[in-house]
Amino acid sequence: MTFCTKQALAKQLRLYFVCGTTDASDLVATVKTALLCGVTCFQFREKGKDALYGDEKEAMARTLHRLCREAGVPFIVNDDVDLALAIDADGIHVGQDDLPAKQVRERLGPDKWLGVSVHTMEEVRTALPFADYVGIGPIHETQSKLDAGQVRGTELIQQVRRHHPLLPIVGIGGIRPEHVPAIMADGADGVAVISAIASAPDVATATRRFACL
Ligand code: 3NM
């Protein structure tokens, strides 16, 4: 799944569900429901002490990739270039402590998406020649990433948008449906969400609340 324009990619990032087995009690069921209820992009982020690895991680990735393909939703792998290449994922997302964007791009080739988490304008500048989109956070306080750092609000989103009118941007971190209009108004193309969907008592209703905004 490749997109020729930044505008098309930006649209696809509108409701970006990020999840791994440690975030949801039943990951496959959660992703199936979220796909049915309106997520526009999915990232398999398998992190934490009880996370799957090796063959089990790859098998889970293949299952989720198939579900995403059936739903017409891009499947992005977090921080595992070997896995992304092995299963022909649509792209990869890396943070600042992962393999540098330049090296990821060299390994991925030009056709797959590369997303990079950024926290400063300097990190944006470094990522820009290689990244298709940037993730900016934490916008609000998050329980899902222990080393997420200080809460930033949308200041960096506004700054990046001023300097890079066409760069696809997603906000992340503690985002609930009621936050979405302000984040989008401040320049984001979409929101990336873990717990507000994965930990919701009713995944379908939670996803629809985001999707209809
Ligand atoms: N990255 P939730 S915050 C994976 O700030 C991740 O870069 C962040 O989960 C960043 O929606 C975060 O449950 C966790 O807060 C987002």
- For the stretch 40-81, pLDDT in tens is 999 999 999 999 999 999 999 999 999 999 999 999 999 999
pLDDT at 112 over 70: yes
What is the C-alpha to C-alpha distance for residues 20 and 56, in angstroms, rounded to an integer? 12
Listed in sequence order, the residues at least 6 apart from 151 whose beta carbon sits closer than 8 Å to its beta carbon are 138, 139, 140, 141, 173, 174
Q: Could you list the active site residues?
A: 45, 117, 145
pLDDT at 109 over 80: yes
Looking at domain 3-211, does it have CATH number 3.40.50.1000? no
Closest atom of ligand 1 to 23 CA is 13
Sign of the torsion formed by the C-alpha atoms of 38, 16, 143 and 98: positive
Residue ranges lining ligand 1, Cβ < 6 Å: 18, 117, 135, 137-138, 142, 144-145, 148, 172-175, 193-196
Q: What is the mean pLDDT of the chain?
A: 96
Using most ligand atoms within 8 A of CB, pick from 18, 22, 45, 147 the residue to mutate for ligand 1. Answer: 18
What is the C-alpha to C-alpha distance for residues 167 and 157, in angstroms, rounded to an integer? 11
What ipTM, to 2 d.p.?
0.99
pLDDT at 1 over 60: no
Please give the structure tokens belonging to residue 121: 């304008």
Residue 191: phi and psi, rounded to 5, are: -125, 140
Tell me: the pLDDT tens digits for 16-40?
A: 999 999 999 999 999 999 999 999 9
Measured in angstroms, how far is the CA atom of residue 126 from the centroid of ligand 1?
21
Q: Work out whether strand 91-94 and strand 15-19 pair parallel, antiparallel, or are unpaired.
A: unpaired
Listed in sequence order, the residues at least 6 apart from 75 whose beta carbon sits closer than 8 Å to its beta carbon are 42, 44, 64, 65, 68, 69, 89, 90
